[in-house]
Structure 1
Amino acid sequence: MKNALEDWYVRWQVRLLLLAGQKTQALARIERHLALHPDNAYALATRAHLQAELGDKSGAIDSIERLVKLQPRQASAWFNLGFLREEVGRLEQAEEAFRRATDIDPQLDRAWYGLALCLIRLRRFDDAVVALRKNTELQPMSPYGWYQLARVHVDRQEPEEAAKIIRHLKKFEPKVAAQLERETGLGVAST
């Protein structure tokens, strides 16, 4: 009971500090809490978030790595780890984290999208297509996966596949479709 009350109090303090724009002080409060409770998942996740926002990506990665060791079945933590690793260019490690997230929760659309972006940067277009298809299956009305899928088809010298996606996007995201037409040079008539 005492730990639960203390956790609630720390969360309340951190929220107030963040509302006041005091990220550094919020991080210091979380650090003090972690000194007493090093395995507190909320505190580790919050510390990682604040470290990333304050520009300490390496520290954020370390915090999330501790969190996934503590809670290895938490898909969102693996996603966050993949996101941070990809952001700093640790692409193979990012891929591993995104794959763990999708293994744990195959419905986590943002993990499929993150995996796809990572694979694109690794120039593994065939694998990226698989991840993007899963992402667009889970989020059919989001233009982001469709946009990337069209770009990958262009990179794979498959303009007809990209054109199909542009026509599809014209139905619900005409601005994104127009952007793809400009970027790819594929003028596609609506059908």
Structure 2
Amino acid sequence: MLKWRAVLCLTVGRDQAALACFDRLLQRRPLDRHALASRAHVLAKMARYDAAIASLQQFTTAWPREAAGWFNLGFVLQRAGRHDEAGTAFLYALARDARLDRAWYGLALVLMQHRQFLQALEALKQNTALQPLSPHGWYRMVQVRLALGQPEEARKLLEHLRRFEPRVAAQLESETGLNRVTATGAVCDATH
């Protein structure tokens, strides 16, 4: 009953009540997968990152083969600004499931934070191979190419992104100034 009560509380936006339900459920069954993961989700949503991390660490200790648990831990660690630990958690997630596109993306963000752009590029290539129509990986790949001093490669990626996410491409173009200047240095007409 507590599980369903918690779900109902979440549905109506009563996060604190849902959290209390998950806490009571964990008192009865300390290693309940759903309760540990859900408790962490609610805590992260409330920006209580340390408590969410502790809950996810319990989860990954109890269920070390669960790639999703390691990814979630990495995600919350990253939100908390603990990038080194986040990178380790993403690597653990990928060791358990190399098809976890979000873990490749998270790892790329960590690598970008550490200015390890070549490694970030490789992680983003994995991410975009697994999620070719998600704009996030392509967006970051443009940024990495620019950081590597490769504006022509960045332009190619921007044009690729424009084919399926024109709004995101336009935003990125505005942020970076790409495609305003051609390879010869001439200013491009934005209407063409």
Q: Distance in 1 between matches of 2:9 and 2:175?
A: 44
How far 1:170 sits from its partner (Å)? 2.0
Moved beyond 4 Å, runs of 4+: none
Which of the numbers 77, 83, 96 marks the counterpart of 2:69? 77
Q: What CA deviation, in whole Å up to 9, does each residue of 1:122-163 have, x standing for no partner?
A: 211111001000001011111110010001100111111101
How far 1:10 sits from its partner (Å)? 2.0
Contact 2:3 2:21 in 1 (8 A): no
Q: What TM-score does the superposition give when structure 2 sets the normalisation length?
A: 0.90
* Alignment RMSD (CA, Å): 1.3
Contact 2:117 2:144 in 1 (8 A): yes
Aligned to 1:6: none
The code of the aligned residue for 1:93 comes to: E
Aligned to 1:157: 149
Q: Distance in 2 between matches of 1:125 and 1:85?
A: 21
Aligned to 2:4: 12
Q: Distance in 1 between matches of 2:42 and 2:170?
A: 37
Q: What TM-score does the superposition give when structure 1 sets the normalisation length?
A: 0.90
How far 1:98 sits from its partner (Å)? 0.5
Identical-residue share of aligned pairs (%):
46
Aligned to 2:53: 61
Aligned to 2:117: 125
Which of the numbers 11, 17, 42 marks the counterpart of 1:50? 42
Q: Distance in 1 between matches of 2:40 and 2:78?
A: 15
In the comparison of the two structures, how many residue pairs are matched? 181
Question: Relative to structure 2, which stretch is displaced further, 10-19 or 90-99?
Answer: 10-19
How far 1:78 sits from its partner (Å)? 0.5
2:13 equivalent to 1:21: yes
Contact 2:53 2:76 in 1 (8 A): yes
Q: What CA deviation, in whole Å up to 9, does each residue of 1:4-54 have, x standing for no partner?
A: xxxxx2221111222232211111111111112111111111111111122
Aligned to 2:81: 89
Which of the numbers 31, 34, 38 marks the counterpart of 2:30? 38
2:161 equivalent to 1:169: yes
2:100 equivalent to 1:108: yes
The code of the aligned residue for 2:136 comes to: Y
Q: What CA deviation, in whole Å up to 9, does each residue of 1:53-74 have, x standing for no partner?
A: 2221100000000000101111
Aligned to 2:185: none
Aligned to 1:135: 127
Cα–Cα, structure 1 residues 175 and 17, in superposed 2: closer, same or farther, change >3 Å? Answer: closer
